[in-house]
């Protein structure tokens, strides 16, 4: 069975990042685009590694090298848990190719394991990207011996297993529950968002107030204790790496394998029923047909976009999570009160100034437009053969994204306005900045998707979670928000009068508006590749 799983895994994984297609394609345009994307990814990875290495060296410089093992292990674990939760269900229980596979002499468990291994592969690469620099920096700083290096190498192999298993278990549970419901996609997306926000709240719930008063030694101990508390397996890894003993690491491996085995046994029992239940749709068989009211072309397209949106749980959960966080963060800040947060971080008046950028950051995590073009997939022939101008199609996707943003934006702004009572320029910024960035995120998302469309996907995950367009759009929106927010914060704190900050804020917002208009103009004239 293991051999079959590995064969299947090879077939599934050989097109990871589109490498197999790139290898065999005769389309030079595709090669060029892939090269461009490769360079972009290389830049993102370089920046990520640069940030990681700089922060690790920073810890070494202030004498906190000891936290590096647990830092690496906990960061990878928590991120894998978060990121996998949103896609595991769709990868594991995907109906695509399942019918063909089930008709072959392949055990069901082999299909399950191959799909799990597919998830493991990408997470293994991510783990290596975090832990390898950690190993080198900690190894040199602490003068570590071979056991420590062995622990790190084993850590790279096994660190993804436990969070991946937990995320898979949770995702399976969500799929299992939602498959019994009438509105299964909606229920699934709602459960996914609730659990994701819950996990974020759980892992960000540490009280760091007391840390500033401690000595470096105590600080190190405090962080180790806190990371161990939010992610207990990391403590075993820490013990193994710092004390150079293999026993806790072996225990960790055994526990990971045991949890994985139990999950696979459970999933194997429920795999097919869940896949089948998710596939089933109710049929009415009635003779009465409501032909409905006439809609304009634009509204017909917007309605179609919304119907697709609410039929795809992965699409909903991945794009709505940022919007939910935007509204939830605003409500939370208003309920807790900005003063108590400012007292904790020791910076008076900061929350009301920076909240608009924070809200924009949450709301712009992933716009629907970054994947809505690619998601047309195999149905693309319809819009291409129907008399629909391309601009109208693009506008409908933008309109849908903005209509989706609107209620969350209104809740966020209303809650912040009521809770914090900002006045004058602060109120204007609270209203304008999130709105401008939400529009910007929608436009840049669409632009990125038109630049990097992918129609030949087998599973929506390939577009929504792994798509080049979503990565580019997310990265670009974040960079622009950080630059605008950073410029505003610098002006606000460097100059004594509020005028400087307000001027900088107005200028950066104006630049973002101009950039949005420019991108929209380019999009309006863009022809989609065939």
Residues that bind other proteins (CB under 8 A): 26-30, 281-297, 299-300, 303-304, 307-308, 311-312, 377-379, 381-382, 384-389, 530
Rounded CA gap, 473 and 40, in Å?
12
Q: Cβ 151 to other proteins, closest distance in Å?
A: 49
Nearer to other proteins, 3 or 286 (CB): 286
What distance in Å separates the CA atoms of residue 242 and residue 237, rounded to the nearest whole number?
A: 8
CB of 404 to other proteins, least distance (A): 16
What minimum distance in Å lies between the beta carbon of 377 and other proteins?
8
- Cβ nearer to other proteins, comparing 245 with 311: 311
In angstroms, what is the minimal distance from the CB of 27 to other proteins?
A: 4
Minimum distance, C-beta of residue 35 to other proteins, in the bound complex (Å): 15
The position carrying tokens 């392949």 is 106
Taking the complex as a whole, the smallest distance from the CB of residue 287 to other proteins amounts, in Å, to 6
d(CA 133, CA 73): 12
Distance (Å, whole) CA 66 – CA 120: 28
Give the C-alpha separation, 335 to 373, whole Å: 39
Nearer to other proteins, 278 or 362 (CB): 278
CB of 473 to other proteins, least distance (A): 23
Pick between residue 4 and residue 97 the one whose CB is nearest to other proteins. 97
Closer by beta carbon to other proteins, 3 or else 527: 527
Instruction: Categorise residue 270: left if φ over 0, alpha if ψ from -120 to 50, beta otherwise.
Output: alpha
- Determine contact, residues 203/230, Cβ cutoff 8 Å: yes
Q: Which of 511, 490, 510, 512 is nearest to 501 (CA)?
A: 490
Nearer to other proteins, 303 or 526 (CB): 303
Cβ-contact 75, 130 below 8 angstroms = yes
Q: Which of 75, 58, 334 is nearest to 227 (CA)?
A: 75
**Tokens representing 504?**
């900088």
Buried b vs exposed e over 43-56: b needs ≥16 C-beta within 10 Å? eeeeeeeeebeeeb
> Among 347, 14, 314, which residue's Cα sits nearest to residue 191?
314
Give backbone dihedrals phi and psi of 504, rounded to 5 degrees, phi first. -60, -45
Helix or strand holding residue 438 (H, E): helix 424-451
What minimum distance in Å lies between the beta carbon of 299 and other proteins?
Answer: 8
Do residues 438 and 407 make contact, with C-beta atoms less than 8 angstroms apart?
no
Cβ proximity to other proteins, 301 vs 436, nearer residue: 301
- Residue with Cβ nearer other proteins (209 or 529): 529
Q: Which residue has the tokens 């090879």?
A: 10
Least distance CB 312 / other proteins (angstroms): 7
Q: Which is nearer to other proteins, 215 or 291 (CB)?
A: 291
């Amino acid at each position: 069975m293991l051999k079959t799983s590995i064969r299947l895994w090879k077939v599934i994984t050989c097109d990871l990042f589109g490498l197999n297609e790139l290898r065999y394609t005769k389309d030079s345009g595709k090669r060029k685009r892939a090269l461009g994307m490769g360079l972009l990814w290389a830049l993102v990875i370089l920046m990520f590694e640069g940030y990681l290495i700089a922060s690790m060296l920073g810890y070494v410089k202030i004498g906190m090298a000891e936290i590096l093992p647990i830092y690496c292990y906990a960061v990878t674990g928590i991120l894998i848990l978060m990121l996998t939760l949103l896609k595991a269900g769709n990868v594991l229980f995907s109906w695509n190719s399942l019918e063909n596979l089930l008709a072959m002499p392949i055990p069901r468990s082999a299909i399950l394991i191959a799909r799990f291994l597919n998830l493991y592969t990408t997470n293994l690469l991510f783990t290596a990207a975090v832990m390898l620099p950690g190993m080198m920096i900690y190894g040199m700083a602490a003068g570590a011996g071979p056991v420590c290096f062995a622990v790190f190498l084993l850590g790279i192999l096994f660190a993804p297993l436990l969070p991946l298993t937990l995320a898979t278990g949770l995702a399976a549970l969500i799929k299992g529950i939602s498959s019994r419901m009438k509105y299964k996609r909606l229920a699934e997306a709602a459960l996914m968002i609730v659990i994701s926000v819950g996990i974020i709240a759980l892992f960000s719930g540490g009280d760091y107030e007391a840390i500033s008063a401690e000595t470096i030694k105590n600080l190190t101990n405090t962080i180790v204790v806190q990371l161990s508390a939010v992610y207990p397996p990391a403590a075993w890894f820490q013990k193994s790496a710092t004390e150079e003993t293999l026993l806790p690491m072996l225990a960790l491996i055994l526990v990971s394998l045991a949890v994985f085995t139990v999950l696979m046994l459970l999933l194997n029992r429920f795999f097919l029923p869940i896949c089948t239940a998710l596939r089933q749709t109710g049929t009415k068989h009635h003779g009465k047909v409501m032909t409905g009211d006439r809609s304009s072309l634009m509204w017909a397209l917007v309605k179609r976009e919304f119907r697709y949106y609410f039929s795809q749980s992965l699409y909903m959960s991945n794009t709505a999570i940022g919007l939910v966080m935007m509204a939830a963060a605003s409500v939370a800040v208003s309920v807790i009160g900005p003063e108590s947060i400012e007292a904790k971080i020791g910076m008076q008046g900061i929350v009301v100034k920076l909240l608009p950028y924070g809200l924009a950051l949450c709301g712009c995590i992933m716009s629907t437009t970054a994947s809505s073009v690619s998601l047309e997939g195999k149905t693309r022939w319809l819009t291409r053969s129907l008399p629909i101008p391309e601009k109208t199609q693009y506008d409908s996707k933008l309109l849908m994204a903005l209509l989706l943003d609107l209620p969350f934006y209104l809740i966020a702004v209303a809650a912040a306005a009521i809770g914090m009572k900002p006045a004058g320029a602060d109120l204007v910024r609270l209203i304008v900045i999130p709105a401008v960035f939400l529009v910007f995120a929608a436009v840049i998302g669409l632009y990125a998707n038109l630049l990097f469309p992918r129609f030949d996907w087998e599973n929506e995950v390939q577009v929504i979670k792994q798509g080049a367009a979503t990565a580019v759009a997310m990265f670009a929106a974040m960079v622009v928000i950080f630059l605008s927010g950073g410029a505003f914060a610098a002006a606000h704190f460097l100059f004594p009068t509020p005028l400087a900050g307000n001027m900088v804020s107005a200028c950066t917002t104006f630049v973002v508006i101009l950039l949005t208009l420019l991108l929209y103009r380019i999009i309006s004239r863009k022809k989609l590749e065939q």
